[in-house]
Amino acid sequence: MMNRNNVSYVDAISEATAQEMAYDPSVIVFGLDVDDHKAIQGTTKGLLAKFGPDRVFGTPLSEDAMTGAAIGMAMCGLRPIHVHIRMDFMMLAMNQLVNIAAKTHYMYGGQIRLPMVVRSMIGKSWGQGAQHSQGLYSFFMHVPGLKVVAPTTPFDAKGCLISAIRDNNPVVYVEHRILHFQKGPVPEELYEVGPGKARITAAGSDITLVGISHMQIECLRAKHYLQEKGINAEVIDPIWLSPLDVDTIAASVRKTGHLLVVDNDWATCGASAEIMAAVTERLQGEMRFTVHRMGFANTSCPPTPSLEYLFYPNGRTVAAKAFDILKGSAQNWLPNERPDLKEIEFRGPF
Amino acid sequence: MIAKFYESLYRIRRVEEEVAKVYPTDKIKSPVHLSIGQEAVAVGVCEALQPEDIVFITYRSHAAYLAKGGNLKAMIAELYGKVTGSAKGKGGSMHLVDVANGIMGASAVVGTTIANSIGYAYGVKLKRQNNIVVCFFGDGATDEGVFYESMNFAALKKLPIIFICENNGYAIHTAQAKRQSVPDIAAKAAVFGMPIERLGDDVLHLYERISAAVETLRSGGTGPFFFECETYRWKEHVGPSEDYNAGYRAKTEAEPWMQQDQVQKFAMMLDPQQRQQIEQAVEIEIAEAFEFAENSPFPPDAELYDGVFA
Ligand SMILES: Cc1ncc(C[n+]2csc(CCOP(=O)(O)OP(=O)(O)O)c2C)c(N)n1
Ligand SMILES: [Mg+2]
């Protein structure tokens, strides 16, 4: 028996997929290596045995054509889930996603709809390097007609995937390799965590930390570090990046007066820019508040551990930044690393 | 010639074995795609080239990098993430580069350098340079659309390029027959109107056939040329171990390749004393390279932002 309070992110995804496939025969899963023994870190484990090779199949290396094929399958009434082992590979599918998938329903006057999910994961550490570590979801947030979701807990991984599968629009479902190690409560039954609703993951009153994808974990760590300074941060997980729940974030900033968005991506033109702009539009003229952000260093991701460490925000640097924001100037405070708040040691080879 | 070929084969094999040996110590925090078993193609091809010739390689290219004359110390330091590495620790195992020795880099996104290589060849032709371009890629890369588009352009423009498909039968764990309706890759290239040839991993034969193509291009003849070279990966797709018990392939499939191992074959062709000399020199060079990597510093913090723009 599975301990329902300690289900892994990976198992949450495979369970959601299996349950939806059992519930709806039009759901199918394909992508490079979904059917091999590694089963996309286990997220597609057991599906082939349960549902057979017509509904679960590995593909050639053909991201562009397979994305176009997913669109055609959706046109024909299937609900395809197309899986990429790295988000970087979605760049080969941009034309189909941006020029066809996003526009089909609108451009054809509502005659056609495209229920399809594109799953992908962001890599980190062990020298994944420049081409296996990118969080490129803001590209898709930019385009009307695409929905984007980046769940961070096993509970949301399951609920969001079910929502994404049932959605009648193309949904870009973004995972993170390190989030796959998360464990937590996941109900056995089918449930949805639907578009456009953020979650306050830790209540507070002094500053609002919005953490996207893996940076949600770092923000929760930062909250602990900030307690050393008597600061009570509120942490928000947007979960769905498009549509974005501006209401929840703005309501928090209305309370705290300070927003710090921590993104698992570069800042320029990223999700952090969008969240800051949306909150500013909402609250300007109403009150005094400050907006700030952190993200990847403005370089390609270096594989060497010494530089990779500097490339990413972490719980300590997020806390330091929040402290500076609240004090109004650089404080040169960096908390000592707490063993219980350390990142897991991810060991390769991949 | 035999001695030179053996030195190159043995050197690559031993470098990769050392990488595999060091790997469990976590000093190499980089996803390594070893070419153990595939050395022959790299050596047979690169021995036919001159230093000024250009190669485009892949994430599985420790062999081609070394065979083309890539700096060994810089390679090991790069795997260690050290500032003395070929890319100052900013590339890693999947992105080896050595422009001074004609190695134009490797992409971890499969198939992408095929298109880059034809662009380079176009430049060589336009500038009337006398060097030639070689592009290495795997069978998996020929699944991608960019492969077909690149073959067409290369043939259309009669580019001075040699394509080397290292067909090891698998893309990660998926056999070619599960991915391609017609597995004959050379035949697909032939459709675009270029000379094709199917080769195995017999180093001398490879050398002979590639040399003939090189000769044609060097003397003003037109390309492209396409070679499909059958070979076999002995280790897991990524990482230092074997994976014959994973279920997607059997050890018996690998055995014939191991029996005709080119490294062993060439070792037998040399007299023992000469062989020993070569091996000793290589062992010293490898030991020095690992020592160099161990003793080199990590990049300083300031390197993080260095080199975003030229
Ligand atoms: C565009 C793209 N799709 C998928 C991957 C994941 N991937 C990495 S290596 C690989 C297999 C490539 O096989 P092949 O070209 O035959 O080279 P080999 O590893 O056998 O040397 C795949 C699918 C990738 N890196 N890039
Ligand atoms: Mg292959």
Tell me the three-class secondary structure of B184-248, residue by residue: CHHHHHHCCCCCEEEECCCHHHHHHHHHHHHHHHHCCCCCCEEEEEECCCCCCCCCCCCCCCCCC
Residue-level pLDDT at A348? 85
The side-by-side arrangement of strands in the sheet containing A170-176 is A56-57, A27-30, A79-84, A116-122, A170-176, A147-149, A240-242
pLDDT band at A343 (very low <50, low <70, confident <90, very high): confident
Kindly state whether residue B260 falls inside one of the protein's structural domains. Answer: no
pLDDT higher than 80, residue A147: yes
Give the C-alpha separation, B281 to B178, whole Å. 44
Domain boundary among A141, A160, A184: A184
Give how many domains chain B has, as a whole number: 1
Report helix, strand and coil shares of chain A as percent, to nearest 5. 40, 15, 45
Kindly state whether residue B43 falls inside one of the protein's structural domains. Answer: yes
Q: Do residues A59 and A91 both lie within one domain?
A: yes
Average pLDDT over residues A124-133: 95
Domain boundary among A184, A214, A245: A184
Q: Looking at the CA of B142, which ligand is closest? A: 1
Residue-level pLDDT at B259? 97
CB B177 within 8 A of CB B205: no
pLDDT band at A349 (very low <50, low <70, confident <90, very high): confident
B305·A130 Cβ contact <8 A:
no
**Closest alpha carbon to B154 in B186, B125, B197, B187:** B125
Report the nearest atom of ligand 1 relative to the CA of B171. Answer: 13
Q: Do residues A148 and A73 both lie within one domain?
A: yes
Kindly state whether residue B79 falls inside one of the protein's structural domains. Answer: yes
Give distance in angstroms: CA of B67 to centre of ligand 1. 22
Residue-level pLDDT at A217? 98
Which carries the bigger pLDDT value, residue A230 or residue A343?
Answer: A230
Residue-level pLDDT at A36? 97
Kindly state whether residue B303 falls inside one of the protein's structural domains. Answer: no
pLDDT higher than 80, residue A148: yes
Give distance in angstroms: CA of A248 to centre of ligand 1. 42
A63 carries an active-site annotation: yes
- C-alpha distances (whole Å) from B287 to each of B15, B26, B251, B282 are 9, 18, 31, 9
- Set A15, A20, A82, A132: catalytic member: A132
Q: Choose among B31, B81, B247: nearest Cβ to A348.
A: B31
Residues of chain B with pLDDT under 70: none
B238·A350 Cβ contact <8 A:
yes
The CATH number given to whatever domain includes residue A70 is 3.40.50.970
Q: Looking at the CA of B237, which ligand is closest? A: 1
Report the nearest atom of ligand 1 relative to the CA of B108. Answer: 25
Q: Do residues A42 and A119 both lie within one domain?
A: yes
User: What element of type H or E holds B161?
Assistant: strand B161-167
A131·B107 Cβ contact <8 A:
yes
Domain boundary among A161, A184, A207: A184
| Torsion sign across C-alpha atoms A338, A343, A347, A348 | negative
For an interface test with B, the pick among A44, A61, A132, A268 (most B C-beta atoms closer than 10 Å) comes out as: A61
Backbone angles phi, psi at B24, to 5 degrees: -65, -15
Kindly state whether residue A193 falls inside one of the protein's structural domains. Answer: no
Residue-level pLDDT at A313? 98
For residue A132, give the chain B residue with the closest CA.
B108
A286 carries an active-site annotation: no
Q: Do residues A176 and A204 both lie within one domain?
A: no
Residue-level pLDDT at A303? 96
Residue-level pLDDT at A45? 98
pLDDT higher than 80, residue A1: no
Domain of A101 in residue numbering reads as 8-184
What percent of chain A stands above pLDDT 90? Answer: 97
B305·A131 Cβ contact <8 A:
no
B232 lines ligand 1 (CB under 6 A): no
SS3 label, residue B181? coil
Residue-level pLDDT at A64? 98
pLDDT higher than 90, residue A157: yes
CA torsion, ordered B277, B281, B284, B285, to nearest 10 deg: -160
A298·B82 Cβ contact <8 A:
no
Kindly state whether residue B15 falls inside one of the protein's structural domains. Answer: no
The CATH number given to whatever domain includes residue A221 is 3.40.50.920
What are the pLDDT digits (tens) for A284-326? 999 999 999 999 999 999 999 999 999 999 999 999 999 999 9
Residue-level pLDDT at A119? 98
B188 lines ligand 1 (CB under 6 A): no
Kindly state whether residue A291 falls inside one of the protein's structural domains. Answer: yes
CB A104 within 8 A of CB A112: yes
Give the C-alpha separation, B140 to B108, whole Å. 13
Q: Do residues A242 and A286 both lie within one domain?
A: yes
For ligand 1, mutation pick of B172, B176, B233 (most atoms within 8 Å of CB): B172
| Residues sharing a CB contact under 8 Å with residue B157, sequence separation 6 or more, in sequence order | B118, B122, B125
Give how many domains chain A has, as a whole number: 2
CB A322 within 8 A of CB A233: yes
Q: Do residues A28 and A177 both lie within one domain?
A: yes
Q: Choose among B178, B247, B305: nearest Cβ to A37.
A: B247
For an interface test with A, the pick among B27, B30, B147, B308 (most A C-beta atoms closer than 10 Å) comes out as: B30
B81·A126 Cβ contact <8 A:
no
Q: Choose among A131, A302, A348: nearest Cβ to B108.
A: A131
Kindly state whether residue B129 falls inside one of the protein's structural domains. Answer: yes
Q: Do residues A210 and A133 both lie within one domain?
A: no
Residue-level pLDDT at A287? 97
* DSSP summary character for residue A110: T
Kindly state whether residue B161 falls inside one of the protein's structural domains. Answer: yes
| Torsion sign across C-alpha atoms A91, A93, A96, A102 | negative
Q: Do residues A61 and A140 both lie within one domain?
A: yes
Kindly state whether residue A237 falls inside one of the protein's structural domains. Answer: yes
Average pLDDT over residues A132-138: 98
pLDDT band at A345 (very low <50, low <70, confident <90, very high): confident
Q: Do residues A165 and A26 both lie within one domain?
A: yes
Kindly state whether residue A349 falls inside one of the protein's structural domains. Answer: no
Kindly state whether residue A345 falls inside one of the protein's structural domains. Answer: no
Q: Do residues A315 and A167 both lie within one domain?
A: no
Domain of B109 in residue numbering reads as 30-239
For ligand 1, mutation pick of A61, A120, A128, A132 (most atoms within 8 Å of CB): A61
Q: Looking at the CA of B146, which ligand is closest? A: 1
**Residues in chain A closer than 8 A to B110 (CB atoms):** 61
Q: Choose among A126, A298, A302: nearest Cβ to B90.
A: A302
Q: Do residues A64 and A92 both lie within one domain?
A: yes
Q: Do residues A214 and A150 both lie within one domain?
A: no
Chain A nearest-CA distance from B113, in A, is 13
A76 lines ligand 1 (CB under 6 A): no
B47 lines ligand 1 (CB under 6 A): no
Kindly state whether residue A347 falls inside one of the protein's structural domains. Answer: no
Kindly state whether residue B269 falls inside one of the protein's structural domains. Answer: no
What percent of chain A stands above pLDDT 70? Answer: 100
Regarding an ipTM greater than 0.90, the answer is yes
The CATH number given to whatever domain includes residue B116 is 3.40.50.970
